[in-house]
């Protein structure tokens, strides 16, 4: 089996073993692949693996030996799944490998806004505490999470993990999900999207980017938030109207935002959120703990092994 990995670097910059994939066939990997190089590099591939390298209809139709595309992630919007289906090419993803890491990152942003540990640490090392007349000082309002309302948009694996953490902090947890759910934890109250934005102190976006959810968090919806509320997104940047969010932050309509994702990555220098007030941004690292990346790599290998065995798993284009 000829296996070509087009963009290996982000999954494994050198701290994981490629052994699980090397045992499955002839394994060739490239740290990064330009769009113009994909066909040449994958011309003999039966299996293509990609994280964020886009696989279009034209590429699929040009690769005559291609039988399988494995996405090294949960989201698979980088693949033309309809074209793959039409060509008889199976597409698989890796669900739920980063659940705990992403939920952890959501609350890293939440706590950065509530306690400002980084800001105060920097001030202490600059001598502020040594020069202080009192035993204590704080430069920002300090916020206790207990009894605040956490609103979750998208109650999948990650949304539920976010809810568990919020509940452990003593928060009231509410959630909106586009489809009806039958197994909602007893500490989560299901509600509408409008009520999430009207009533929540903390909003966490944890849904997939689809045609229905693109810019779902609109300027109008953001305007419904309380002035003291904050919004956090560790799912996909395209779910939020970025200019609308930046305007709301700069005009003081809401208190803050924390983002691990933007609509274009890497972002252009003129993305309005890069200069927005009270906005923390991390470079799409929620998924990237070593533990989560290791689970992803092993799951990719398991998906390929299942395909070779004639029992493909985690297929997204049946």
What's the rounded Cα separation, in Å, for the pair 18 and 29?
10
| Closest to 306 in 3D by CA, of 64, 78, 68 | 68
The two three-digit tokens of residue 191, written as one number: 């509600």
Characterize the bridge pairing of strands 202-205 and 188-190: unpaired
* Residue 113: active-site member: no
Q: Which phi and psi (to 5°) does residue 222 adopt?
A: -60, -35
* Residue 120: active-site member: no
Catalytic residue among 29, 116, 157, 284: 284
288: number of Cβ within 10 Å: 19
Which residue carries 């494995």 as its tokens? 70
Catalytic residue among 22, 26, 144, 265: 265
DSSP helix, strand, coil percent of the chain (3-state; round to 5):
35, 15, 50
Q: Which phi and psi (to 5°) does residue 2 adopt?
A: -95, 115
Which residue carries 């003291």 as its tokens? 228
What's the rounded Cα separation, in Å, for the pair 32 and 37?
10
Torsion angle defined by CA atoms of residues 57, 62, 64 and 67, in that order, rounded to the nearest 10 degrees? -30
What's the rounded Cα separation, in Å, for the pair 204 and 55?
30
C-alpha neighbours within 13 Å on the C-beta side of residue 188: 27
Catalytic residue among 113, 236, 293, 295: 236
Q: Using the Cα atoms of residue 110, residue 153, residue 234 and residue 263 in order, give the sign of their dihedral.
A: negative
* Residue 46: active-site member: no
The two three-digit tokens of residue 60, written as one number: 């699929």
For residues 119 and 125, is the Cβ–Cβ distance under 8 A? no
- The residues carrying an active-site annotation are 236, 265, 284
């Amino acid at each position: 089996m000829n296996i070509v990995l087009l963009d290996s670097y982000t999954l494994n910059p050198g701290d994981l073993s490629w052994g699980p994939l090397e045992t499955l066939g002839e394994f060739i990997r490239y740290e990064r692949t330009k769009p113009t190089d994909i066909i040449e590099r994958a011309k003999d591939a039966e299996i293509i693996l990609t994280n964020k390298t886009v696989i279009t209809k034209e590429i699929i139709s040009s690769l005559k030996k291609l039988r399988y595309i494995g996405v090294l992630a949960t989201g698979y919007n980088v693949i033309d799944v309809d074209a793959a289906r039409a060509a008889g090419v199976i597409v698989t993803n890796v669900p739920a490998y980063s659940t705990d890491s992403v939920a952890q990152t959501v609350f890293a942003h939440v706590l950065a806004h509530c306690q400002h540990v980084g800001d105060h640490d920097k001030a202490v090392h600059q001598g502020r505490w040594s020069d202080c007349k009192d035993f204590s000082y704080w430069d920002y309002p300090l916020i206790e999470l207990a009894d605040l309302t956490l609103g979750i948009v998208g109650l999948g694996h990650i949304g539920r993990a976010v809810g568990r953490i919020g509940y452990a902090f003593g928060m009231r947890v509410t959630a909106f999900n586009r489809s009806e759910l039958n197994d909602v934890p007893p500490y989560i109250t299901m509600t509408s999207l409008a009520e999430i934005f009207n009533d929540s102190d903390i909003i966490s976006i944890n849904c997939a980017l689809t045609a229905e959810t693109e810019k779902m968090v609109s300027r109008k919806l953001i305007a419904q938030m309380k002035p003291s509320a904050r919004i956090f997104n560790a799912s996909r940047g395209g779910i939020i109207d970025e200019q609308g969010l930046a305007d709301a932050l700069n005009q003081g309509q809401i208190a803050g935002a924390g983002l691990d994702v933007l609509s274009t990555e890497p972002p252009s220098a003129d993305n309005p959120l890069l200069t927005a007030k009270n906005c923390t941004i991390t470079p799409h690292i929620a998924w990237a703990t070593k533990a989560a990346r290791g689970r992803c790599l092993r799951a990719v290998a398991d998906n390929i092994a299942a395909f070779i065995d004639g029992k493909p798993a985690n297929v997204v284009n049946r």
